[in-house]
Amino acid sequence: MTKQTLPNDKPLMGKIITKELECEDTYKFLIELPIKAQRALPGQFIMLWVPGVDEFPIGIAGFKENILEVGIAKMGPGTEAMINKQIGDLVGVRGFYGKPFKPPQDVNHLLIGGGFGMTPLKLLTTTLLEKDSKQNIHVFEGARTKDRLMYLDWFQDLHDKDLITFHVCTDDGSYGYQGFPTVDLENFLQENQTPSVMYVAGPEKMMKAIFNIGKKYSNVMDMQMSLADRYMRCGFGACSYCAVDPTGWRICVDGPVFNTEQLEQISDFGLYKRLESGEKVRI
């Protein structure tokens, strides 16, 4: 029987069936799970267990029946151990956790991201493309250099097929225009008065800057941002290490995606996070 979603349970052991270098220090994995689920929603995440090493949150880049796609960027020992896994190896998956992006009808969809923030945006793009009517999708991606652009070929291909508009840039000009994604984003918002919704995933400081830009434009109906700079243990709401002040919302269940109205209430947004000990520090 196909379940609605995976059960909130101990790690479900899945087998790695594909491993590919996606961009510098970042790998795409397809993981075959032992049970089927109807869908994963864009913005949701899993807790990925690398047996004997660590368990950490990872965004969902794609999901069909029982095949899960993730993109892993090398950060420290946990992600490195995952990157060293081979086809056939088993890893544990808990999830799907968290609130997804909620795209409304009849708006320009502006997807803005960088780094591993592109993983939920990939699934969001897939979901938008599956809709019956053609959607107006703009993807804004930025990275230091061409080698660090995640899913470059995938988004470029959709752009070439005229399914999305891909606004790509690098700090060094090695691909796309030289500069930050906010340049093209602002150009777009100035030139297009039709209602737009922004979906953002990336480093929190960048998101805060984008949030401040978006607030200037009355044609921006909503900004939905995925907060991922928080330490997580349980992933389902019990431990509260991931919580934000002053609302007490847990990133793992009340987020990770928050809308404009919610972001306004999170005074920690872009400024503070909590460490593994619970200590609050500047981002």
Partner 1 sequence: MSFDTEVGDIQLRNPLILASGVLGTTYSTLQRTYEAGLGAVITKSIGPRSRIGNPNPSVFALQEIRSVINSVGLANPGYSIFREDIQILNENKIPTIVSIFGENKEEFLEVLNGLKDLSVLAFELNLSCPNTEKGGTQIGTDPELVKEIVSMLRKETEIPLWVKLTPNVSNILEIADAAIKGGSDALVAINTLKAMVIDIQTKMPVLGFKRGGLSGAAIKPIGIRYVYDLYENFGDKIPIIGVGGIYRGEDIIEYLLAGATAVEIGTSLGVAYPENMIRFFQMKIKKYMKEHQFNSIKEITGGAHR
Ligand X SMILES: Cc1cc2nc3c(=O)[nH]c(=O)nc-3n(C[C@H](O)[C@H](O)[C@H](O)COP(=O)(O)OP(=O)(O)OC[C@H]3O[C@@H](n4cnc5c(N)ncnc54)[C@H](O)[C@@H]3O)c2cc1C
Ligand Y SMILES: Cc1cc2nc3c(=O)[nH]c(=O)nc-3n(C[C@H](O)[C@H](O)[C@H](O)COP(=O)(O)O)c2cc1C
When the beta carbons of 82 and 158 are compared against partner 1, the nearer one is: 82
Q: Which of residues 235-254 bind ligand Y (CB under 6 A)?
A: 238-239
CB atoms within 10 A of CB 136: 15
In angstroms, rounded to a whole number, what is the distance separating the alpha carbons of residues 281 and 255? 20
Question: Both tokens of residue 262?
Answer: 């919610």
Question: Both tokens of residue 36?
Answer: 């089927």
Q: Which stretch binds partner 1 (CB under 8 A): 54-62, 134-142, 163-171, 186-194?
A: 54-62
Q: Which of residues 114-133 bind partner 1 (CB under 8 A)?
A: none
Residue 252 lies near ligand FES (rule: CB under 6 A): yes
The CB-of-58 to ligand FES minimum distance in angstroms stands at 13
Q: Which of 106, 162, 261, 279 is in the footprint of partner 1 by CB under 8 A?
A: 279
Question: Both tokens of residue 107?
Answer: 């708006």
Q: Which of 2, 7, 65, 215 is in the footprint of partner 1 by CB under 8 A?
A: 7
The partner in contact with residue 71, picked from ligand Y, ligand FES, ligand X, none with C-beta cut-offs of 5 to 8 angstroms by kind, is ligand X
Q: Which residue intervals of 60-203 are DSSP H helices?
A: 77-83, 118-129, 152-160, 181-191
The CB-of-237 to ligand Y minimum distance in angstroms stands at 10
Q: Which of 23, 47, 58, 82 is in the footprint of partner 1 by CB under 8 A?
A: 47
The CB-of-205 to ligand X minimum distance in angstroms stands at 13
When the beta carbons of 144 and 233 are compared against ligand FES, the nearer one is: 233
Size of the site for ligand FES (CB under 6 A): 13
When the beta carbons of 183 and 234 are compared against ligand Y, the nearer one is: 234
In angstroms, rounded to a whole number, what is the distance separating the alpha carbons of residues 60 and 57? 10
Q: How do strand 280-282 and strand 272-274 relate by DSSP bridges?
A: antiparallel
The CB-of-47 to ligand FES minimum distance in angstroms stands at 8
* Strands (DSSP E) found in the chain: 12-23, 26-32, 45-50, 54-59, 62-64, 67-73, 90-97, 108-113, 136-143, 165-170, 177-178, 196-201, 220-226, 243-244, 249-250, 257-258, 272-274, 280-282
Please enumerate in sequence order all residues whose Cβ is within 8 A of that of 72, keeping only pairs 6 or more positions apart, or say none: 26, 27, 29, 58, 79, 82, 83, 116
| Interacting residues with partner 1 (CB under 8 A) | 7-11, 13, 47, 49, 51-52, 54-56, 90, 92, 94, 233-234, 236-241, 243-250, 253, 274-280
